[in-house]
Amino acid sequence: MPIYEFQCQECQNRTSVFVRTVTSPVNAECGSCGSKDMIRLITSFGVSKSVSDVHAVHNNPNSPDYYMDPRNIGRSTEDKFASMGMEMPSQIRDMIDGAREGDMPGATKDLQPNVNEI
């Protein structure tokens, strides 16, 4: 059930027309001046996505950008242990949890700029 938007060629007023089906004829008439000299406008639309939809699209480990998000490194490690039916060692669990809170493990701390150097 689309809503089409039209602009009057006489007074430039915009009018929205609700149509029950895509195949229904559209007889647009200006709500201000009553003119039938209308042109159809191309308008934007939105699509709602759930969190799981967004994760399904953007959390593909085969995507080249996947590991640009550091959170995905921990997710990938968790998924790998789960898929192998292994329990994750507490040392690795602590490292992932710490990284999620901003405490980067080991040598990665050296890669982060010092606040005084910026």
User: Is the residue at 75 inside a domain?
Assistant: yes
User: Is the residue at 115 inside a domain?
Assistant: no
Do 78 and 96 form a contact (C-beta atoms < 8 A)? yes
Torsion of CA 62, 67, 73, 75, to 10 degrees: -50
CA atoms within 13 A on the CB side of 19: 16
> What is d(CA 36, CA 13) in angstroms, rounded to the nearest whole number?
12
Query: Where is 38: in which H helix or E strand?
Result: strand 38-41
> What is d(CA 49, CA 114) in angstroms, rounded to the nearest whole number?
38
User: Is the residue at 109 inside a domain?
Assistant: no
Model pLDDT, residue 112: 53
Query: Where is 72: in which H helix or E strand?
Result: helix 70-83
User: Is the residue at 112 inside a domain?
Assistant: no
Segment 49-73 mean pLDDT: 75
Q: Which residue has the higher pLDDT, 53 or 79?
A: 79
Is a pLDDT exceeding 80 seen at residue 58?
A: no
User: Is the residue at 34 inside a domain?
Assistant: yes
* Reported confidence tier of residue 29, pLDDT bands at 50, 70, 90: very high
3-state SS class at 96: helix
**Residue-wise pLDDT tens digits, 81-117:** 999 999 999 999 988 888 888 777 665 555 555 545 5
Q: What residues make up the domain containing 90?
A: 60-101
User: Is the residue at 107 inside a domain?
Assistant: no
Question: How many separate domains does the chain show?
Answer: 2
User: Is the residue at 71 inside a domain?
Assistant: yes
**Residue-wise pLDDT tens digits, 72-81:** 788 888 989 9
User: Is the residue at 16 inside a domain?
Assistant: yes
